[in-house]
Amino acid sequence: MPLARFAIGEVVRHRIFDFRGVVFDVDPEFANTDEWYEAIPENLRPRKDQPFYHLLADNSETAYVAYVSQQNLIPDDSGEPVDHPAIGGMFERLDEGGYQLKELLRH
């Protein structure tokens, strides 16, 4: 099974769709519902045996939570902040463009 390529607080971009987000959780392999998986068009459906990332995501229209397979993510090195209302409650922005979990949320 592949290891997680992205860390919590890292900013990533989707390979196909025009959105980016901050990683706030990682599943070592697919851990969502069958209904969610089946809703993905078959030609775009990712393998289940890879890490999946929970993202605080934004695009040009809205902010939302996304669940994305590792194969569909690339690093985002734009240095631009992600515009999601939940980020301020969970993360502190780092100078180099990523995010770090706030002290109270670290285990």
- What is the model's pLDDT at position 107? 60
C-beta of residue 13 within 8 angstroms of C-beta of residue 20: yes
In this structure, the strands spanning 73-75 and 91-93 are unpaired
Tens digits of residue pLDDT in 7-46: 999 999 999 999 999 999 999 999 999 999 999 999 999 9
DSSP state for residue 36 in the 8-state scheme: H
Which amino acid, one-letter code, is at 54? H
Q: Give residue limits of the domains in the chain.
A: 11-105
Tens digits of residue pLDDT in 73-88: 999 989 999 999 999 9
